[in-house]
Amino acid sequence: MIASLKRNPNTIRQGSVVVDIVLLVIALIICFITLYPFYFVIIMSISNPQEVAAMNVFWFPKGFFLGSYELIVRDTKMWWAYSNTLIYVSAGAFLNCLMAVLGAYPLTVRGLIGRKWVVGFILIPMYFAGGLIPSYLLVNQLGMYNTMFAVIIPGMVSIWNIILVRTFFTTIPEGLKESAFIDGASHWQLLFRVVIPISKPIIAVIAIYSIVAIWNSWFDALVYLPNEKLHPLQMYLYRVVVQQSVDLKTLSLQDTRNAVENMLSNIQLKYAIIVFTTLPVIFTYPFFQKYFIKGALLGSLKE
Amino acid sequence: MRATRQPGKRVSFRLRENMQLYLIMLPVLLHIFIFSYIPMYGIVIAFQNYYPGKPFFSFESANWVGLQHFIDFFNGPYFGRLMRNTFLLSFYTLVFGFWVPILFALLLNELKNGIFKKFVQTASYLPHFISNVVVAGMVLSFINADGIINAMVKLFGGESTVALNTEPGYFPAIYTITSIWKSFGWSSILYLASMSSVDPHQYEAAKMDGANRFKQMLHITLPSIRPTIFILLIFAIGNLLSANSEFILLIYNPMVYETADVIGTYLYRDGLLGGNFSLGTAVGLFIALINFSLLYVANALSRKHSDYALW
């Protein structure tokens, strides 16, 4: 019946081609607005430095020049920062997943005494927090100031992640747990042998959420880590790109100053360093995108 | 259920079970206690003359000053400017940015080609994954005196060669546009999700009644995402006095403090770097209280008039 309706002349305007074309054009404009800045940064970073300095590059790279990248790759501070970030990301992601699982599991057990109180205890900090300065003083008094712990430990529990994992756990059939109990399992065994193995999708979501968040974070390091040796990549970027306190051109002073290096423009160096430090995120982005969306959707479920 | 026939055994089993469960949670509960609740207690230094090195747990050595720090802040030279900037910057992102993801989700919902739709969606999320530092670095170089924005202005015959980042008048626009650009795609996910749960029969029925695409959107799609809109609006109102200071810290400079300095950045600069711990804590508490009241009022109003509420 619906098929016959579709041939009804009255419904032709449903599929108006004009509307579709207008929508398509708007969508293309939106894509352009979000993608062009990145594209611009990339083509600026590989074009001929003179063209870059003259702001002649708009649509296609003009010339081809990788000298900026060469200079960056030779900067040991950048590699320090890169390896620090890897430490922060791996430790942080692991701890985040572990804590989210440990926090979420007991909340899904029916017989938990005082469940309401525990949930309240966990949720209140979402709405009210002590703020920057009391947290700073606390980290100081715990002796974590200017150590790697200051950016790993305080952030290892995310209430949001606990809620996400809890939501997922509630979808696990009760019967599965019951049968494990009948076989004599304790809650520890149930959690690590049954629940975690079948919760890989949500753990992947949490892991990716924390990886990207930690990879991109800089403010904690700004506040807690005066020692540059401990700085993550984003702090290095902050010093170079925003504060401009690192003059990349001086990095190569000990080398013979050839004509090519004199051609380097500071702005191109900045673009190159943005590309170089953002590349891992951009490259892995298509792979983890589906996990991200899954997480956002799970999180939107009403408690 | 397992032990209804043996009440005594059930109680001991329940206790043992709960001990286990609390043991599992212990690291999390301890962490939350230490890193969330102790800082809340730390707020007491807002009512003291705290100096670095003194533990804020000790009541004996505390030098209580009551509301002095709040009064100092209200009478301070920056109070008006800070409140205005903080409110305005969040207000602009709310007024100019709140409806963007909704419109974008409606647009995506109308796109029929699957692959193209995916592409548009993927492109729109991308800025969300780029760090604030990188976005700030890009913005700063674009708005520079010889950046691409000025180059474009010249291309269209304009004469402007002013460095946009030294002109206070431009800051709110730069901040608002960047914030919207960074978040609209990602924010549209929730709207899209609630749209996808609409029963297709509703559209069929509307078609039979002669509703065109626009009318279907207006009378079916839009009402179906109304709960999501309300919830997100409540959250946004609850954050009206917390402009994204982490991002502002990256793109502002002393020349534009007039329109760019917000509570959060002032707190960092004067409270933390300047060592005014008590004043900074007082300012933070003041803002947290206003934000919470706003959230509370928005939630109460929404529950009364629309039945959608956070709690």
Report how far residue A160's alpha carbon sits from residue A170's, in angstroms, rounded to the nearest whole number: 16
Q: Which of A55, A133, A212 to mutate to test the interface with B (most CBs of B within 10 A)?
A: A133
What size, in residues, is chain B? 311
pLDDT attached to residue B104 = 92
Q: Does B215 touch chain A (CB under 8 A)?
A: no
Q: Which two tokens stand for residue A137?
A: 């003083």
Task: Judge whether residue A45 has pLDDT over 80.
Answer: yes
Q: Percentage of chain A with pLDDT > 70?
A: 86
Which residues make beta-bridge pairs with B64?
B48
In a 3-state reduction of DSSP, which class is residue A184?
coil
Q: Does B227 touch chain A (CB under 8 A)?
A: no
Q: What is the mean pLDDT of residues B5-23?
A: 75
Burial status of residue B9 (CB atoms within 10 A of its CB: 0-12, 13-18, 19 or more): exposed
Q: What is the mean pLDDT of residues B193-198?
A: 82
Indicate yes or no: CB of A132 within 8 angstroms of CB of B272: yes
Task: Judge whether residue A97 has pLDDT over 90.
Answer: yes
Q: What is the mean pLDDT of residues A255-276?
A: 68
How is residue A266 annotated by DSSP?
Answer: H
Measured between CA atoms, how close is B273 to chain A, in angstroms?
A: 9
Q: What is the mean pLDDT of residues B192-202?
A: 82
The DSSP element (H or E) to which A164 belongs, if any, is helix A159-169
Measured between CA atoms, how close is B14 to chain A, in angstroms?
A: 7
* Confidence band for A248, pLDDT divided at 50, 70 and 90: low
Q: What is the mean pLDDT of residues A92-102?
A: 95
Q: Which of residues 33-62 of B touch A (CB under 8 A)?
A: 34-43, 45, 55-56
Q: Does B30 touch chain A (CB under 8 A)?
A: no
* Confidence band for A12, pLDDT divided at 50, 70 and 90: very low
What are the angstrom distances between the C-alpha of A206 and each of A294, B32, B152, B293?
Answer: 10, 18, 42, 31
Residue B195 vs residue B22, higher pLDDT: B22
Task: Judge whether residue A9 has pLDDT over 50.
Answer: no
Report how far residue A78's alpha carbon sits from residue A71's, in angstroms, rounded to the nearest whole number: 11
Report how far residue A85's alpha carbon sits from residue A228's, in angstroms, rounded to the nearest whole number: 13
Task: Judge whether residue B212 has pLDDT over 90.
Answer: no
* Confidence band for A256, pLDDT divided at 50, 70 and 90: very low
Indicate yes or no: CB of A300 within 8 angstroms of CB of B193: yes
* Confidence band for A102, pLDDT divided at 50, 70 and 90: very high
pLDDT attached to residue A61 = 79
Q: Which of residues 60-99 of B touch A (CB under 8 A)?
A: none
Q: Which of residues 132-161 of A touch B (CB under 8 A)?
A: 132-138, 141, 153-154, 156-157, 159
Gyration radius of chain A over CA positions: 26
Indicate yes or no: CB of A30 within 8 angstroms of CB of B123: yes
Indicate yes or no: CB of A38 within 8 angstroms of CB of B186: no
pLDDT attached to residue B149 = 81
Task: Judge whether residue B33 has pLDDT over 50.
Answer: yes
Task: Judge whether residue A204 has pLDDT over 90.
Answer: no
Indicate yes or no: CB of A134 within 8 angstroms of CB of B40: yes
Q: Does A271 touch chain B (CB under 8 A)?
A: yes
pLDDT attached to residue B57 = 61
Report how far residue B277's alpha carbon sits from residue B45's, in angstroms, rounded to the nearest whole number: 8
3-state secondary structure labels for all residues of chain B: CCCCCCHHHHHHHHHHHHHHHHHHHHHHHHHHHHHHHHHHHHHHHHHECCCCCCCCCCCCCCCECCCHHHHHHHHCCCHHHHHHHHHHHHHHHHHHHCHHHHHHHHHHHHCCCHHHHHHHHHHHHHHHHCCHHHHHHHHHHHCCCCCHHHHHHHHCCCCCCCCHHHCHHHHHHHHHHHHHHHHHHHHHHHHHHHHHCCCHHHHHHHHHCCCCHHHHHHHHHHHHCHHHHHHHHHHHHHCCCCCCHHHHHHHCCHHHHHHHCCHHHHHHHHHHHCCCHHHHHHHHHHHHHHHHHHHHHHHHHHHHHHCCCCC
* Confidence band for A51, pLDDT divided at 50, 70 and 90: confident
Helices A76-107 + A115-127 axis angle, to 10: 150
Task: Judge whether residue A152 has pLDDT over 90.
Answer: yes
Q: Percentage of chain B with pLDDT > 70?
A: 92
Q: What is the mean pLDDT of residues A215-240?
A: 90
Measured between CA atoms, how close is A85 to chain B, in angstroms?
A: 13
Q: What is the mean pLDDT of residues B255-283?
A: 87
Task: Judge whether residue A95 has pLDDT over 70.
Answer: yes
Q: Which two tokens stand for residue A102?
A: 């440990």
The string of pLDDT tens digits covering residues A19-39 is: 888 888 999 999 999 999 999
Q: What is the mean pLDDT of chain B?
A: 83
Q: Does B259 touch chain A (CB under 8 A)?
A: no
**Which residue's structure tokens are 């903080």?**
B86
Q: Does A16 touch chain B (CB under 8 A)?
A: yes
Q: Percentage of chain B with pLDDT > 90?
A: 12
Q: Which of B14, B41, B133, B190 to mutate to test the interface with A (most CBs of A within 10 A)?
A: B133
**Which residue's structure tokens are 């700063």?**
B140
Q: What is the mean pLDDT of residues A90-106?
A: 94
* Confidence band for B255, pLDDT divided at 50, 70 and 90: confident
Contact B288, A128 (CB under 8 A): yes
In a 13 Å sphere around the CA of A9, the CA atoms on its Cβ side amount to 0
The string of pLDDT tens digits covering residues B134-170 is: 999 888 888 877 777 877 777 777 766 667 777 788 8
What are the angstrom distances between the C-alpha of A140 and each of A147, B26, B283?
Answer: 10, 24, 21
Q: Which of B35, B140, B209, B269 to mutate to test the interface with A (most CBs of A within 10 A)?
A: B35
